[in-house]
Structure 1
């Protein structure tokens, strides 16, 4: 069986936390060996830590996401450092900058300052950091140049930046992680960008419960109990081919792919296979070869001192 390494997800998300045991088991049965679970604020770091203590396959990450910068407490950075002191297996994340629809509501200079503190901490700890970046790649590159390079690596998660910026980020120690969001790019742009990424810097992720791949309905796994799913798809998984072509109560409205699902449909960690298949087709490489090289990339990146990857 192929081995896969989910380099960025959020199993602590309240939408799926209660389902985490089953999600992990199902994904592991499908070859997903490890899950890098990223905290986003002071409010969920304890949940990430608990998941990592409960499941050997969960690698914890603690960080303050740009969307939650305005809600941080005066002692947030002290608290963050305490989590790293007490959790040697942890990496840094999710951190970043965002000029998208949601990110524009948060003061950008504050986002940059919070990101700077966390990138400097990642360097000090000699651990990788998982970075969120939306419509701010130039700003991110400038900040990384001022602090870097990053020998322990950084992960630009759900990378949707330009092909031209790939070498510059790579020179600073960046890895590029791809999720279902990649399918929202024009195929020509996606292919051009993917071809620029060195094979030793490719990672795969789900960003679950977000980033549902825009794949055919019958190729996807759905989260059991997801109330946003049309009733015809409740209980359907990728092994239920009857999901293909389900109608939404209207014979003329036939569902063929995920673009026809409600926007809030939850993403299952098993769907990392869909991202792998898509990238393999773009790079014209076998999915087995791509799965293994991306797995080895993730193992190398997460093999810092104290890491679970190094445990016997």
Structure 2
């Protein structure tokens, strides 16, 4: 499969020659993500602690390991991390914000891109990002909850859309083309249909859309 994927995971990564951003979500899968990146030059690995897997008793002790891994892999990004007010049974927003702040600070200090998850906390996330105006970020699962031109920092960011988000009328039209990315979020079998529908909605060929998304992803990691 040769379709760029701006957000996927190690358990479902597809082989091919297109760029993939493969995100680790906890120490449990960091090693697998690192191995995939080592074997495939088209993979950009990301390492972070997702709010679903944020352990209140352990996450602070895991951060030095995260930094060490990033130091060892100079082209790696930070994430998947973020904020989530949708899922039950996970730590509340105050602890999520503390952990996210540590991730953002690390990404800024090491000059790495960040892949961010957000569910019903976009305003809080946008406010936190104002402290890091130069940070390169992928906002995955973009739902159009904010006006990107005025509510996001002026840094280098991508708004990544999957097949589920495509159900929102007019979503793609609201995204500047140089900010657009497409993702499988761990379901690579959805990519052909996603690219077909997105190309049709944008009035371009699939090949041109592939070139656009690939260029946007490359500009994020090599601006």
Task: Give the Cα–Cα distance (whole angstroms) in 1 for the partners of residues 209 and 36 of structure 2.
Answer: 28
Contact 2:199 2:205 in 1 (8 A): yes
Contact 2:54 2:90 in 1 (8 A): no
Contact 2:19 2:214 in 1 (8 A): no
5+ residue gaps, structure 1, are 209-266, 305-312
Aligned pair 1:148/2:132, yes or no? yes
User: Under a length normalisation based on structure 2, what TM-score does the superposition of the two structures give?
Assistant: 0.90
Secondary structure at the counterpart of residue 36 of structure 1: strand
Deviation at 1:4, TM superposition (A): 3.1
Based on CA coordinates, which of the two structures has the bigger radius of gyration? 1
Task: Write the deviation string for residues 161-201 of structure 1: whole angstroms up to 9, x where unpaired.
Answer: 33x52212263432101112213x442xxx1x322211111
Instruction: Select 2:83's aligned residue among 97, 100, 106.
Output: 97
Residue 118 of structure 2 aligns with which residue? 133
For residues 172-251 of structure 1, the aligned pairs below 5 Å read 172-183=155-166, 185-187=167-169, 191=170, 193-208=171-186
Task: Write the deviation string for residues 194-238 of structure 1: whole angstroms up to 9, x where unpaired.
Answer: 222111111111111xxxxxxxxxxxxxxxxxxxxxxxxxxxxxx
Instruction: Select 2:218's aligned residue among 299, 305, 308.
Output: 299
Residue 87 of structure 1 aligns with which residue? 73
Task: Give the Cα–Cα distance (whole angstroms) in 2 for the partners of residues 186 and 38 of structure 1.
Answer: 25
Residue 161 of structure 1 aligns with which residue? 144
Secondary structure at the counterpart of residue 43 of structure 1: helix
Deviation at 1:73, TM superposition (A): 4.0
Aligned pair 1:287/2:216, yes or no? no
Contact 1:10 1:207 in 2 (8 A): yes
Deviation at 1:35, TM superposition (A): 1.7
- The total of aligned residue pairs comes to 221
Secondary structure at the counterpart of residue 159 of structure 1: coil
Deviation at 1:7, TM superposition (A): 1.1
Task: Give the Cα–Cα distance (whole angstroms) in 2 for the partners of residues 39 and 125 of structure 1.
Answer: 18
